[in-house]
Amino acid sequence: MSGVVFSMFRMYLLVVALYVVQISSVSAQTNNADVCVVESVEGRAMVWVPGTRQLVAEIGLGLPLEANLKTDDNARVSLLCRNTLNVVVGASTEIRVYKLVPGGRQPIALRLLKGIAGFIFESDEDDGVQVRTPSAVAAIRSTEWAMRVQNDSTAVFARDGSVYVLATGGDSVSLGPGDGIDITASGDMATVVQWGQSRIDLFSELLGPEW
């Protein structure tokens, strides 16, 4: 009987040890070499790195390379990223810290997989931001803009400054203040237009006052 109890105790210790290792691994990946940090949370959102358990997003939690953030319905999360990039992640959205683009100050690259996100980026340095979606890439130096992905189609709106947009179909445009553009899931780009107030208000409503 004692042998059975001892074996069960050893198995318990092994399970506890594996759990501690997993927690330590996630903690290391979300606190060392962070690219973005959670600044505010409204509702519920999850953060994870492939191969680790999911963590509930909370103020101060870091997102390293390859980290994913997914918001629930009616949730919003604000991030402060390197190079003074502010990101507001809307409800039902998934975004990934994709990579740091090689360069002097390692500009940030993010992937907006679905949903909506607003960006505020002000920098006089030789750096920038790239945001990729399933059908487009937006490259920015210093501006305020938003992007929405629905069924792999992309909408891009420049509130201030300029945004360079490259569709996966090969076409490219530069957006100025008030300009917006739609890109289909197959990468076909529509005509650049000045967005009407109703569509701007919709984006503002989805993103909230922090954008």
Q: Are 178 and 194 in contact (CB under 8 A)?
A: yes
pLDDT tens-digit map of 172-204: 999 999 999 999 999 999 999 999 999 999 999
pLDDT tens-digit map of 88-136: 999 999 999 987 665 545 568 899 999 999 999 987 665 688 999 999 9
pLDDT tens-digit map of 42-70: 999 999 999 999 999 999 999 999 999 99
Instruction: State how far the Cα of 202 lies from the Cα of 197, in Å rounded to an integer.
Output: 9
